[in-house]
Chain A
Amino acid sequence: GAVVSQHPSRVICKSGTSVKIECRSLDFQATTMFWYRQFPKQSLMLMATSNEGSKATYEQGVEKDKFLINHASLTLSTLTVTSAHPEDSSFYICSASGQLYEQYFGPGTRLTVT
């Protein structure tokens, strides 16, 4: 099956700093990648959809200047949380979609902002 990796798996950063999370499709080309956020004991909420070589589409209520998404190649998308604050602490999950409709999920990144 298709494999998606995320790095780092967990990160702790200080308030006011920025942190970058990478999402890679290891054995297929991902034309579209999705970024989700999941708070404890809650469902996944889509933050944005990114297509290779174009600007990401953000869901309503998601600050695009705070959550910078870059999808520079068919195997890599990055999410940068800028000027992170404690309320940004969450579990971030990416998924990747290839030629067909199915999405393959990464293992997630736990972000803690102190």
Chain B
Amino acid sequence: AQTVTQSQPEMSVQEAETVTLSCTYDTSESNYYLFWYKQPPSRQMILVIRQEAYKQQNATENRFSVNFQKAAKSFSLKISDSQLGDTAMYFCAFMKGGTASKLTFGTGTRLQVTL
């Protein structure tokens, strides 16, 4: 069974600053995907970024980037130039390779962006 651990229940960052959210996972699978999802107060789950485990290059999406350390089973999310709209719960998630596999979520990190 896979486990996903997010050790930071809450984080705070000032607008325009950079923040890093941590995530570690445990698996015996060799083919898998990792995701960061954002859940704002509306509670709609929004995909922030994805990483295929077979890719060595870290994924980036505009202000969002990951630091994927496969050997260490670490998958942190860096948010640059933080904006007030980034305030949300952030969930790290693991999916085994193959189609239509289930997602295993971490406990989440509540991020507050302040003025």
A→B interface (CB under 8 Å): 31-32, 34, 38, 42-46, 49, 51, 91, 93, 95, 97, 99-103, 105, 107-108
Known A-B contacts A31-B100, A43-B106; A107 and B44 likewise in contact (beta carbons under 8 Å):
yes
Interface residues on B, range: 20 to 34
Q: A32-B100, A46-B103, A97-B99 are in contact. Are A105 and B108 (CB under 8 A)?
A: no
Q: Which residue of A is nearest B9, CB measured?
A: A41
Q: Is the CB of B50 within 8 A of A102?
A: yes
| Nearest 10 A/B pairs, CB to CB | A32-B100, A105-B45, A97-B100, A43-B105, A44-B105, A107-B44, A43-B107, A108-B43, A43-B108, A46-B102
| B91 A43 Cβ-Cβ under 8 A | yes
A107 and B102 contacting across the interface, CB-CB below 8 Å: no
Which A residues are CB-close (under 8 A) to B108?
42-43
Query: What residues of A have a CB within 8 angstroms of the CB of B11 in the complex?
Result: none
Interface residues of chain B, those whose CB is within 8 Å of chain A, are: 33, 42-45, 47, 50, 91, 95, 97-108
Contact of B99 among A38, A91, A100 (CB under 8 A): A100
What's the minimum C-beta distance from A61 to chain B, rounded to whole angstroms?
14
Chain A, residue nearest B4 (CB): A43
